[in-house]
Amino acid sequence: MKVPALLSFLLPFLTALLLICSFPSVDLWPLAWAALVPLTLYALGEERSWRLFLLSFVAGYLFFLVGLWWTGYVVPVAPFLLAIYHALLVVLCAFTVRSGWRWGLSPMITLPLGWVSCEFFRAYLFTGFPWFYLGHTQHDVLPLIQICDITGVYGMSFLVAMINGLLAHLLLALRGGDPAEIKRSRIVRVGLPAGVIALVAVLGYGFIRLGTIELTKGPSLLIVQGNIPQEVKKRSHDNEDIFEQQVRVTESGLVGLDRPDLIVWAETMFPIPAIRDVQGESWRNTKRLSALAQKFSGALLVGVTVVEPPREMLAGGSASAEELWKASAKSNSALLVSREGEIVDRYDKIHLVPFGEYIPLRKTLPFIDDFLKSYSELPELPDLRAGTRHTVFNLGRWPFGVQVCYESAFPEIVRELRRQGARFIINISNDGWFKESAELDQMLAIVRFRAVESRVGVVRATNTGISAFIAPTGELSDVLVDTQGRTKSIEGTLRGNVLISESATFYVAYGDLFALLVLALFLITVGYPFLQRMKGIPSRKRPE
């Protein structure tokens, strides 16, 4: 049965639509198990390479353009540029599937190898952007995602892509029409049982883990969500109002209740830069933080910009505030203030956002500055310094680590913190940049995988939403919601105990071993046909 040409051309666009609907905030996660089938069918049947390139690129471009539209709130051209790079990886995956098919490999094998390898590339190329992983669509299916404590999120992506490849191959087999031939086909005899066994095995593992992981109550935390619009945060003359609002919301969450072990303010919610005098090892502009911790009788974790001026400028004392700011090293940081008012320790954000917190190749390509000044909504071009230390803060019996905003997309940071003894993780974030967009839902879904991979409770403390407590199983223990059921652009506090697990995981010990294995197999899959063609050896028959 031949598929009409027009319908065939629409298949890649159907994949784009299904993927858009699979991810938050639409979140129709069952669609993900068939979302790649249309594109796969098109790739297997398209003989002309230029047309496969064009349609798979356009489909990938549309998916990522819609999915990453929220990046345009910061840099208007960002979604258009990011979508190009991501779409090229969709093209690579489509050609991998077609090439493997011509050499006798089922898409049940080549699709997960290609898709997961492209996800791995995205985690590291151009400093990394690990967003829209296929496995992220399953964040609400707790029995399935428990496998991530072995494989990381890549294992979940592999399983979903494998089932997509299986379905595509089955559809091609069923199209043959002869029942006897269908039953004898390898995809029915071998592929279908293998897919069912893999799915059942992952589900079985998940149910066992959910039934055996022991969770205990950790320290009590108060998350403060001030809901400061980004337009207000940009204006320095509103700093006093921002501070007073944070204090007011904090006080409202403490009325009539026992003092929590830790009060958490989100990223950069202390609006005044904290100046670190390296020479004298002292702090400036932090007296109000110390006073607050003493007033609240509780430790305070607060997001703040830390400024470290050159020693000679501090010693001279004649530099203006503007000169001091421009000459100083600046970090996006978190400070822990004890209940006695002492600054105990700090964490400087390690994985900075390209173009949002620093400009790549700024010195090599100076024209980038002029371009961004024309097309960016940022009040000034960012020039932050990346941290180098995975700080483990001490909160009595409960050592913990911090991730700032976008860092929660990178599992290696949580792994290292866990290896150094952190028993839970706090993710502080200011998502006010992105208003009420899908970015807030997507970030929460991603953070849930960090909890499962390293078996740590995760606390997400945000400025505008979505603030939540996440159990080491990935379950949402509690979410800040207002009386109308809204989770975004609301102010309030969320109080709870972090859930602690003592379970060690394969993923913490060995990291992305699974992904590296998949990448190696992918390179073999791509390289073998290439070498064979160079030797003049024709492709084999297509798989049954």
Counting Cα atoms < 13 Å in the Cβ hemisphere of 176 gives: 16
**Span of 178-192, 212-226, 398-412 with lowest mean pLDDT:** 178-192
Whether residue 180 has pLDDT greater than 70: no
Confidence of residue 534 (pLDDT cuts 50, 70, 90): low
| Model pLDDT, residue 498 | 96
SS3 content of the chain, % helix, strand, coil (to 5): 55, 15, 30
Residues 6+ apart with CB under 8 A from 187: 106, 108, 166, 169, 170, 173, 543, 544
Q: Which amino acid is at 477?
A: S
The bridge status of strand 274-277 relative to strand 392-393 is unpaired
Do 219 and 497 contact (CB within 8 A), yes or no?
yes
Q: Taking 70 as the threshold, does the pLDDT of residue 349 lie above it?
A: yes
Contact call for residues 302 and 338 (beta carbons, < 8 A): no
Cα–Cα distance, 439 to 405 (Å, whole number)? 12
Please check the confidence at residue 10 and state whether its pLDDT lies above 60.
yes
pLDDT in tens, 445-482: 999 999 999 999 999 999 998 999 999 999 999 999 99
CA atoms within 13 A on the CB side of 417: 35
Using omega within 30 degrees of 0 as the cis cutoff, is the peptide bond preceding 56 cis?
no
Task: Work out whether strand 424-429 and strand 457-462 pair parallel, antiparallel, or are unpaired.
Answer: parallel
Residue 3 above 60 pLDDT? no
Which value, to the nearest 10 degrees, does the dihedral of the CA atoms of residues 202, 162, 443, 144 take? -10
Dihedral pair phi/psi, residue 486, rounded to 5°: -85, 145
Mean pLDDT on 3-8: 65
> For the chain, what is the mean pLDDT?
87
The vertex-216 CA angle with 215 and 222, nearest 5°, equals 115
Residue 331's SS3 state is strand
| Total residues found in the chain within this entry | 544
Q: What SS3 state is found at 346?
A: strand
> pLDDT tens, 78-118?
889 889 989 999 999 999 999 888 888 899 999 999 999 99
Least reliable range by pLDDT among 183-197, 214-228, 383-397: 183-197
Instruction: Answer whether residue 1 shows pLDDT above 50.
Output: no
What percentage of the chain carries pLDDT values higher than 90? 58
Provide the annotated active-site residues: 267, 349, 405
When mean pLDDT is compared across 175-184, 370-379, 476-485, the lowest value belongs to: 370-379
Instruction: Confirm or reject CATH 3.30.450.20 for domain 216-351+386-502, answering yes or no.
Output: no
The share of the chain scoring above pLDDT 70, in percent, equals: 85
Query: What's the rounded Cα separation, in Å, for the pair 86 and 79?
Result: 10
In the predicted structure, residue 135 carries a pLDDT above the cut 70: yes
Q: Where are the domains of the chain?
A: 5-212+511-534, 216-351+386-502
**pTM (2 decimals)?**
0.90
Q: Which two tokens stand for residue 484?
A: 């109308």
Spatial contact of 13 and 63, defined as CB atoms under 8 Å apart: no
The mean-pLDDT minimum among 147-151, 172-176, 513-517 falls in 172-176
Q: For the residues 4-25, what does the mean pLDDT come to?
A: 88
Phi-psi region of 402 (alpha: psi -120 to 50; beta: other; left: phi over 0): beta
